[in-house]
Amino acid sequence: MTVPVAPVITQGPKLERHRPMLRRLRRPAALLSLCWLGLLLVASVAPSLLTSQNPNGQNLSDSLQNPTGQHLLGTDKLGHDLLSQLIYGTRSVILATLVAGFVALAIGVPLGLIAGYVRGHTEAVISRFADGLMSLPTIIILLAVAGILGNNLTLVMAFLGVILSAGFIRLVRTSTHAIRAELFVDSARVQGVSTTRIVSRHILPNIISPVIVQLTFGLGIGILAVAGLSFLGLGPPPPATTWGSMVFAATQNLSVAPWQLVPSGVAIALTVLAFNFLGDAVTDRLPVPRRRALAHGQKGAIQSEEQPRPDHGATRETEIEVGEVDAADPAESPGLLEVRGLTVTFVTRTGESLLVVDNVSFRIAPGEAVALVGESGCGKTVTSRAILGMLPSGGEISRGQIVFDGRDVTSLSEPQWAKVRGSQIAYVAQEPLVALDPCFSVGKLLVEALRRHRNLSRTEARREATGLLGRVGIQQPESVFNRFAHQLSGGMAQRVAIALALTGSPRLLIADEPTSALDVTVQAELLDLLRSLQEETGMAVLLISHDFGVVADFCTSAVVMYAGQVVEEAPAVELFRAPAHPYTNLLLSATPHGACRDRELPAIEGVAPPPGQWPVGCHFAPRCPRAETACSSGPVPLTTPAEARRSRCLFSLTELEGRR
């Protein structure tokens, strides 16, 4: 008995992913584990099938042998064949372990179900019970039970089962909670389905797999416990041998015959491993694409310096367009930020590379406010993360360039990026309450950021930070300075996030839906704040939004994205007056407080196709009211229907004419 396998605490309960359990068991580790456990089963039921040796056959002349042809795993002090002892000792180990597992299940699952389903007082009592069981000195209690109630392995293991039931109670309770919150359970309740039926039909099937996982870990603990108890001489009485007592016998002859340790120890470890691997397989811990990018943002960059960029089949369209973009604005002065033909691909779980942002180009002049607009899932956030050098793992700029202030920043390393971010390009996230490190006070965060950018003493930084809080419109900077994220309102947290972004006096602020998680009144205040800060500092702003109302308030020009592509770009005023792309037009109509109040459509029908499912032709064609056959026949290029305007529609001109 060793350390109980500590439950790894993750974010909330995992709901069952529907993947046939049998298929998961086909992984090599799981298959080997099943084979090993199958072998143990045979050894428990019919040990004589596996060995012809008598486990109790003494032969003192064969004492303490290493493996030989006759004794494959050697012999012990009295000349007993170790292999046959191992095989004949299996039954008691497996039986005792199953007793513990069964008791744990029989107590844990019902109590967990009751706690999770009934909730309230009952739940509190049951949870306390489980917590209590978990903080007991398990092994000492088992030993005391064995000592007082007599040397009865089954009974002792039943007690272990009671203690292990705590894990099941917790697991089943949280899973039941999660499932109970699902809509289908609600609707079943509304329809008057009985509780028993809801539990047996809806809840039990969904918790089976996590319970099996817990059971495999419980059985692993059980094996170690049985081994530990019999190691201390509390196993089945002699002459029966079992794995733990074999280890004990081996420890008596360590210096003379160390080999003695091997067979029993390996058998115990393999069995525990087999249970744990089975559990892992059921949890379906497939090689999840790990978010390594954080520490390895540099990795992708290094790769692109060496230019082994994957060819993902972005084709002539790309080439045509890069030329076209360059030709479209040859004479303009260089912008603060120029995104040229930005193409981002992601490597999926299965190893394919998926095009997520397709040849996006736009520019931001110093001090300008540009909006990046589109429905969610259109690539706006990925585009903005690429500009910050913060693509999530698996993401890579496979083509195109990001030029900031005349410098190509596309392939900077992570440390180089860290110098650009904050002082040149800063970032404000969407959800202010989760965007602030919960473990550090507002002041600590600001001071650290300020001292990163400027050579300040702690006191100076502190003064500076309070001033900054005042500048973002916080009423009592001194008091907010010492608060933590959980003590702030959404609006206040967003102000703090903006203050953080300002610590390095950036020249470009990227704000990803900075107001959409906030109340309407707070939204307006924050936009006012951003606008005045922009005027005051002269920084440029890239505002990512799906809300034209926000855009109209704030931005001088707008870039509209749909399914990974730029579909329209225009000065904001022009865009509102006369959209050249049907998508823009529909988006505008769908904005309740937008420019076009007279239209009826509340939303665009259908959803934007996810990456990988984009049509060959115009990406918007399947949802477009004016699509014709030509739209779907091939890629649609960006055109310039009017000065300073671009649109990716075959009918841009007619659209424009129609609205002028």
CB of 405 to other proteins, least distance (A): 15
Among 156, 250, 372, 656, contact with other proteins (rule: CB under 8 A): 250
Candidates 17-25, 345-353, 433-441, 588-596; binding stretch for other proteins (CB under 8 A): 433-441
Token pair listed for 639: 């055109």
Q: Considering beta carbons, is residue 119 or 454 the nearer one to other proteins? A: 454
Q: By the 8 A CB rule, do 137 and 79 touch?
A: no
Per-residue DSSP letters for 164-210? Answer: HHHHHHHHHHHHHHHHHTSHHHHHHHHTT--HHHHIIIIIHHHHHHH
Q: By the 8 A CB rule, do 538 and 375 touch?
A: no
Q: How far apart are CA 31 and CA 354, in angstroms?
A: 32
447 lies in the binding site for other proteins (CB under 8 A) = no
Candidates 139-147, 300-308, 395-403, 569-577; binding stretch for other proteins (CB under 8 A): 139-147
Q: Considering beta carbons, is residue 112 or 244 the nearer one to other proteins? A: 244
Among 28, 120, 137, 313, contact with other proteins (rule: CB under 8 A): 137
Question: How many C-beta atoms surround the C-beta of residue 264 within 10 A?
Answer: 27
Candidates 32-40, 83-91, 425-433, 529-537; binding stretch for other proteins (CB under 8 A): 425-433
607 lies in the binding site for other proteins (CB under 8 A) = no
Q: Considering beta carbons, is residue 225 or 656 the nearer one to other proteins? A: 225
Q: Does residue 338 come out as left (phi exceeding 0), alpha (psi in the -120 to 50 range) or beta?
A: beta
CB of 87 to other proteins, least distance (A): 19
CB of 264 to other proteins, least distance (A): 8
241 lies in the binding site for other proteins (CB under 8 A) = no
Q: How far apart are CA 515 and CA 523, in angstroms?
A: 5
172 lies in the binding site for other proteins (CB under 8 A) = no
145 lies in the binding site for other proteins (CB under 8 A) = yes
Token pair listed for 357: 């942002």
Q: Which of residues 287-326 bind other proteins (CB under 8 A)?
A: 290-292, 294-296
Which amino acid appears at position 250 of this protein?
Answer: A
Token pair listed for 42: 């045979």
Q: Considering beta carbons, is residue 224 or 638 the nearer one to other proteins? A: 224
CB of 390 to other proteins, least distance (A): 6
Q: Considering beta carbons, is residue 133 or 185 the nearer one to other proteins? A: 133
30 lies in the binding site for other proteins (CB under 8 A) = no
CB of 650 to other proteins, least distance (A): 39
List the one residue out of 606, 610, 646 whose CA is nearest residue 625: 606
Candidates 271-279, 332-340, 531-539, 601-609; binding stretch for other proteins (CB under 8 A): 271-279
> Please, which contacts does 461-464 make with residues 24 or more away whose CB atoms are closer than 8 Å?
none
569: three-class secondary structure by DSSP: strand
Candidates 134-142, 182-190, 527-535, 599-607; binding stretch for other proteins (CB under 8 A): 134-142
Q: Which of residues 346-375 bind other proteins (CB under 8 A)?
A: none
247 lies in the binding site for other proteins (CB under 8 A) = yes
Helix (H) or strand (E) holding 544: strand 540-545
9 lies in the binding site for other proteins (CB under 8 A) = yes
Distance of CA 171 to the CA centre of its chain: 20
Token pair listed for 128: 């306390």
Q: How far apart are CA 636 and CA 638, in angstroms?
A: 7
202 lies in the binding site for other proteins (CB under 8 A) = no
CB of 213 to other proteins, least distance (A): 14
Candidates 131-139, 203-211, 530-538, 591-599; binding stretch for other proteins (CB under 8 A): 131-139
CB of 163 to other proteins, least distance (A): 10
Q: How far apart are CA 635 and CA 622, in angstroms?
A: 14
153 lies in the binding site for other proteins (CB under 8 A) = no
List the one residue out of 243, 249, 235 whose CA is nearest residue 263: 243
Q: Considering beta carbons, is residue 336 or 650 the nearer one to other proteins? A: 336
CA dihedral (582, 583, 585, 589) positive or negative:
positive
Q: Considering beta carbons, is residue 429 or 590 the nearer one to other proteins? A: 429
166: three-class secondary structure by DSSP: helix
Q: How far apart are CA 47 and CA 50, in angstroms?
A: 6
Q: Considering beta carbons, is residue 32 or 524 the nearer one to other proteins? A: 32
530 lies in the binding site for other proteins (CB under 8 A) = no
237 lies in the binding site for other proteins (CB under 8 A) = no
CB of 139 to other proteins, least distance (A): 3
CB of 307 to other proteins, least distance (A): 22
The number of residues making up the chain comes to: 660
Among 231, 346, 481, 562, contact with other proteins (rule: CB under 8 A): 231
Q: How far apart are CA 282 and CA 34, in angstroms?
A: 12
Virtual torsion, Cα 171, 174, 180, 181, nearest 10 deg: -150
CB of 16 to other proteins, least distance (A): 19
Candidates 192-200, 272-280, 574-582, 624-632; binding stretch for other proteins (CB under 8 A): 272-280
43 lies in the binding site for other proteins (CB under 8 A) = no
Q: How far apart are CA 547 and CA 552, in angstroms?
A: 9
17 lies in the binding site for other proteins (CB under 8 A) = no
Token pair listed for 243: 């794995």
Among 339, 436, 468, 551, contact with other proteins (rule: CB under 8 A): 436
Burial of 317 (0-12, 13-18, 19+ CB in 10 A): middle
439 lies in the binding site for other proteins (CB under 8 A) = yes
135 lies in the binding site for other proteins (CB under 8 A) = yes
624 lies in the binding site for other proteins (CB under 8 A) = no
10 lies in the binding site for other proteins (CB under 8 A) = yes
Tokens 């064609």 correspond to what residue?
Answer: 621
642 lies in the binding site for other proteins (CB under 8 A) = no
Sequence-distant (≥ 6) Cβ neighbours of residue 559 within 8 angstroms: 362, 370, 371, 372, 373, 566, 568, 569
Per-residue DSSP letters for 416-449? Answer: HHHHHBTTTEEEE-S-HHHHS-TTS-HHHHHHHH
Q: How far apart are CA 44 and CA 34, in angstroms?
A: 15
Candidates 229-237, 398-406, 527-535, 560-568; binding stretch for other proteins (CB under 8 A): 229-237
Strands 337-347 and 395-404: antiparallel
Distance of CA 582 to the CA centre of its chain: 36
Q: Which of residues 489-518 bind other proteins (CB under 8 A)?
A: 497, 500-501, 503-504, 510
Binding footprint of other proteins, residue count (CB under 8 A): 99
